Amino acid sequence: MLKIGIIIITLFMSAYSKESPTLSYGAFVQGNQTTFKIHAPRSTEVNLVIFEKPDDETGHEHLMVKNQSGDWTLFLPDLGIGTLYGYRLSGPVNDSTLIIADPYSKAAVTQNSYRHIAKSLIIDDAYDWEGDQWQSTAPQDLMIYEMHIRDMTAHRSSNSYQKGTYLGLTEKDQRGGINHLKEMGVNAVQILPLQDFANVEVPYKDKTLSINNNWNPYAVNHWGYMTSFFFAPESYYASDGTNNPLAWNGTDGRAVQEMKDMVKALHNENISVIMDVVYNHVSQYDNNPLKFIDRDLYFRFDEKGNWSTKSGCGNDCKTESPAMRNLILESLKYWMTEYHVDGFRFDLGQLIDANTRDLIISELRTINPNVIILAEPWGGGYNPHGFSDQGWASFNDQFRDGLKGSVFDIKDKGFLFGKFRKNQDQDFLRRLVMGSVRQFGGQYVSSSHSVNYLESHDDLTFGDRLRITGGFNEKHEIINDPISHAKVDGDLLAMNKLGALYLFTSQGIVFIHQGQEWARSKVIANTDAPDEFEGQIDHNSYEKDNETNWLNWNEKGLNSNLVDYYKGLIQLRKKYPSLRKSNPKDFKFFDLGKQIAVGYIVKEKMAIIMNGSKTDNVSTTLPIGNWRMIVDGDSVQLDSHKIMSGEINIAPISGIVLVRN
């Protein structure tokens, strides 16, 4: 084993940059020389390992030097961009038989196996942003489109040349991708995890392994909520990405530039980029370096010494630990400064301790005062109030469940089914449209903290929930013709439109999921995987890198009327600030008796009435004057000249928007 002695200290000191590095740890390149630094306070020996190629199992090893803070450093001349490296650690908490990648890798070369074997790659991270800056969209102006990089272009109907990639998303001559985002008019995208993740799971029902995967016949994690490297982009989405078993992804680090190309292209269309980030857990199976550096430093354990599993995924991160907290903060700042990311959605945000959350919002706002901070307010509890007190926005489950019913009970029916749920009434409907603010019994200090939504990547799509709960399909029905099944009309179309109208006319942040605009249905596709539920509607498609998740752009045309309704509502919300920037004092509500309906006038300028009843009209009288109807249950016509006055009737499962003439 080749080891370098004490002379390294002198070399390191003479070559160390006068400027503080952006990151505390990692590989720092100056010309053709590199300084390596890793934090491993309980290790007794750490060796830097230099590899020649990705599949090397051994390499040239160099002894590193430890300081009193537990940091190990090494300077190597004649070594720079393109170098593959890793670390071998020895000590009471280490396995010296393993070579692990750098947890601060800016690019990772990873093997398609459930262990997610990885090597760190030194890259040239210089990039010409051509004057690009962060977008600056006020929270209440956000209209977010949640999407998965691969899903947006992987289907043959997309007409993309580089399907399923960062660059494929930006191609101009296609039916999906960035063209669709521009056509819809959204001003932000929330992208499912882009940090390098463990995308291969344990082989299905392989009895030769100590882990029995009896739950995932695809042996894939498609969504990406299993982060492995918090500073490196996912290389499967690069132009050379592959899912071939045991193949290597990221061999030349092109994902770094290609992800930046994608961000710049979205910014050129005035679309903010929000990264979905997972700092609450890592995969249970991969060779995540944090687990092998010092698991007690980075992970939580129960009173019996077992891994904490409040995330439901195992290996819960100890965000309150100074080492993990520092990694989280530096990672977030890195994505902001190096990739021009505009904001973050925090998976299971409740598992991030409150002190770390305070530091996140204060330090990120120091860099970009307009940074977007969204939390999934679950994880060992549910606390949207706490997030709002800290200035964070969070996803409003009361909005979601109030309109369609509890996400945990397919039989539960909300407003869109002509029902009031338990302890809900017209006051509840009024609270939702005003932004769920606390002064009226809501969860939020400000309506700008309420992320209003009907569908996200989790659970049934909004369209499928309406199909099943509304009795249009059975829960376990076999769908033999997915295309004709995807078509919506009649009451099903009306319910989709009414839900959209409620969403886009309520105060708060608007959030929709990919395909929601055509009532997308996720039918489990026919594949080689032994999935006993094939042909049924899917409620949890996290593991399917196939046509179950890929967007079929033919369905967009099939339900073009609904797509146009969504596009019209987006333009409506952009045109009329009162739909975004009103306070509770700006609302005057119609007295609609005990009907399943809500109606109001906001800022004396707009009247909005929505009727959830399946059978009964809603009648009311408009204030004196002429009112122009720009939205009804069928269409959005912003230039309409249809004048209304006096008494009006709103048909079942529909709504209207009027502006004072």
pTM over 0.85: yes
pLDDT tens, residue by residue, 146-200: 999 999 999 999 999 999 999 999 999 899 999 999 999 999 999 999 999 999 9
pLDDT at 18 over 60: no
CB 342 within 8 A of CB 367: no
Three-state SS annotation for 65-103: EECCCCEEEEEEECCCCCCEEEEEEECCCCCCCCCECCC
What confidence tier does 15 reach under pLDDT thresholds 50, 70, 90? Answer: very low
pLDDT at 423 over 50: yes
Q: In b/e form, how buried is each residue of 52-85, taking b as 16+ CB within 10 angstroms?
A: eebeeeebebbbbbbeeeebbbbbbeebbbebbb
pLDDT at 138 (0 to 100): 96
Q: What are phi and psi of 35, to 5 degrees?
A: -105, 135
Give the lowest-confidence range in 380-389, 533-542, 548-557.
380-389
**Residue 493 has what pLDDT?**
98
Distance CA 281, CA 297 (A): 14
What tokens appear for 562 in the block? 């609904």
**Domains present along the chain, CATH in parentheses:** 7-99 (2.60.40.10), 139-577 (3.20.20.80), 587-660 (2.60.40.1180)
pLDDT digits (tens, 9 = 90+) for 38-64: 999 999 999 999 999 999 999 999 999
Name the band, by pLDDT with cuts 50, 70 and 90, for residue 3: very low
Q: CA-to-CA distance for 120 and 106, rounded, in angstroms?
A: 8
Residue 380's pLDDT is: 78
| pLDDT higher than 50, residue 1 | no
pLDDT of 391 over the 80 cut: yes
Q: CA triplet 218, 224, 225: central angle to 5 degrees?
A: 110
Please say if the pLDDT value at position 8 is more than 50. no
- 623-649: average pLDDT: 96
At how many degrees (to 10) do helices 426-433 and 397-404 cross?
130
- Please report the pLDDT score of residue 642 as a whole number: 95
Residue 619 banded pLDDT, cuts 50, 70, 90 = very high
Distance CA 587, CA 603 (A): 7
- Please state, for a pLDDT cut of 90, what percent of the chain lies above it: 94
**DSSP secondary structure letter of residue 432:** H
Q: What is the pLDDT of residue 16?
A: 32
What number is the average pLDDT over the span 590-594?
93
| Summary mean pLDDT of the chain | 95
> Residue 590 in contact with residue 620, Cβ under 8 Å?
yes
pLDDT at site 313: 87
Q: What is the mean pLDDT of residues 468-478?
A: 97
pLDDT at 379: 87
> Are the beta carbons of 46 and 87 closer than 8 angstroms?
yes
What pLDDT score was predicted for residue 10?
A: 34
pLDDT at 265: 98
> Distances in Å between the alpha carbon of 585 and those of 292, 463, 505, 607, 646?
56, 34, 16, 15, 24
- What pLDDT was estimated at residue 382? 83
Banded pLDDT at 2 (limits 50, 70, 90): very low
- Residue 381 has a pLDDT of 80
Q: Give residue-wise pLDDT tens across range 309-352.
A: 999 888 999 999 999 999 999 999 999 999 999 999 999 999 99
Question: Among residues of the chain, what percentage have pLDDT more than 70?
Answer: 97
- Report phi then psi at 545, rounded to 5: -90, 70
Spatial contact of 498 and 454, defined as CB atoms under 8 Å apart = no
Say which amino acid occupies 152. M
As given in the structure block, the two tokens for residue 97 are: 């038989």
Q: Is the pLDDT of residue 11 over 80?
A: no
Q: Is the pLDDT of residue 14 over 70?
A: no
